[in-house]
Amino acid sequence: MRLRNIPGARETIAESPWIVQDPAQCKGHWREKFKDTDTLHLEIGTGKGKFINQLAVRHPEIGYIGIEKYSSVLIRALDKLGESGAENLLFIRGDAELVCEFFEEGEIDRIYLNFGSVAQGQARQEAPSQQGVSQEVLRHPVG
Ligand SMILES: C[S@@+](CC[C@H](N)C(=O)[O-])C[C@H]1O[C@@H](n2cnc3c(N)ncnc32)[C@H](O)[C@@H]1O
């Protein structure tokens, strides 16, 4: 994905109520941030947020969290959230390598890692360095 600097992106991200500014402080308490849900799904590398926004609209009973490293990309996901009006979606602007600092062991029910796309002729696959850490925060680890 090409990254363009977007003026004001950092400031917008820092002020948005949909971006959790202190994710490490929420460790073990993420369910309290959502209304009426016991289920939390996490997307690592949310990008422009199309995938997670669609899921959030389709499944209002699930709480969704998207992590994205770059403000200039995440700002697009915020735009999409504004359009969809989903109230069950929050974002973290940060490095997914730190996922164990953000979430308690077993706190997350499902993790999505969509890197690459079929349309681009790439396999949608998990970033290798994140396979290990992401397992630790799953309620029911797989494999
Ligand atoms: C190929 S895009 C996928 C976007 C989206 N998940 C999808 O399926 O369309 C991968 C995204 O992961 C982000 N990313 C890569 N490494 C990351 C990391 N360590 N922590 C958080 N985000 C990361 C990139 O900035 C990029 O926006």
110-113 and 40-44: which strand pairing?
Answer: parallel
| Nearest CA, atom 27, ligand 1 | 47
CA distance 108 to 90: 14
Please compute the mean of the pLDDT values over residues 113-139 and round it to a whole number.
61
What pLDDT, on a 0 to 100 scale, did the predictor assign at position 115? 77
Per-residue pLDDT band for 119 (boundaries 50, 70, 90) equals: low
Whether 75 lines ligand 1, by a CB cut-off of 6 Å, is: no
What is the domain count for the chain?
A: 1
The yes-or-no verdict on residue 2 having pLDDT over 90 is: no
What pLDDT, on a 0 to 100 scale, did the predictor assign at position 132? 57
The yes-or-no verdict on residue 118 having pLDDT over 80 is: no
Q: Residue 3 domain-assigned?
A: no
Q: Residue 45 domain-assigned?
A: yes
Please compute the mean of the pLDDT values over residues 102-126 and round it to a whole number.
74
What token pair was written down for 34? 């959502």
Q: What is the mean pLDDT of the chain?
A: 87
Whether 114 lines ligand 1, by a CB cut-off of 6 Å, is: yes
With tokens 């917008």, the residue in question is 12
Range of the domain at 87: 9-136
The yes-or-no verdict on residue 125 having pLDDT over 50 is: no
Q: Residue 143 domain-assigned?
A: no
